[in-house]
A and B are shown apart, each in its own frame.
Chain A
């Protein structure tokens, strides 16, 4: 059971280049998320998808686009990378479920992708 898999794990880009971070989960979760982690700022939500076919902006969406390709996959695209987008990116997924469901609402994270924009 792989959980949440994100690729690549490391990437160096030049300013203005584009790239896509890929994320896939094999837990049949409805919801998927992209967060970025910067020193001293915790994790901030970029975009999320509550279900297949829907996406919504999070706290810091500027400069990013997302695609919920199917229930398993949720990609994050940087169209024109900037140094301010240097960060560690995490993909996560969660199930819904009601009260008493011990697995409900718990986010499962990927291993993270370190992106450096020069």
Chain B
């Protein structure tokens, strides 16, 4: 079974600075998807960024980018120019590619605090 590990329960960063959240995963599959979801205090789960394992290029979405290291099974999220609205729980998630395997496996989350 696949597992996802987020080893940083809490992180904090000064506003406008850069922070990196770590995620590692364990799988025997060669093709899969990785995601970062954000959960603000409103409790709503919001997709931040998605990476397909077959793509070597790291995904980026505005101030959010990932460092995908397939051989090391590492998928970290970098947030640049941190803003107060970035304060939230961040979850890393994994799913196998292919029909019939759509379920996501989540890590335990990292709570990010932004210091004004």
- A→B interface (CB under 8 Å): 31, 33, 35, 40-45, 48, 50, 58, 88, 90, 92, 94, 96, 99, 105-107, 109, 111-112
Contact = CB atoms under 8 A, between A and B. Distances in A.
Contact of A45 (B42, B50, B100, B103): B103
Contact of B106 (A31, A44, A48, A96): A44
Contacts of A40: 9, 108
B35 interface: yes
Contacts of A107: 35, 45, 47, 104
Contact of B35 (A42, A50, A99, A106): A106
A99 B52 contact: yes
A88 B39 CA distance: 13
B68 interface: no
Interface in B41-56: 42-45, 47, 50, 52, 54
Contact of B43 (A33, A45, A88): A88
Contact of A112 (B43, B47, B108, B109): B43
A48 B102 CA distance: 9
Contact of A43 (B9, B42, B97, B106): B106
Nearest to B39: A37
Given A106-B50, A112-B43, A42 B107 contact: yes
18 contacts: A33-B103, A33-B104, A42-B107, A43-B45, A43-B91, A43-B104, A43-B106, A45-B104, A45-B105, A90-B45, A94-B102, A99-B52, A99-B54, A105-B97, A106-B47, A106-B50, A111-B44, A112-B43
Contacts of A106: 35, 47, 50
A43 B93 CA distance: 10
For B43, B105, B107, the residue with the greatest tally of chain A CB atoms inside 10 Å of its CB is B43
Nearest to B104: A107
A42 B91 CA distance: 8
A35 B102 CA distance: 13
Interface string B1-43: 0000010010000000000000000000000010100000011
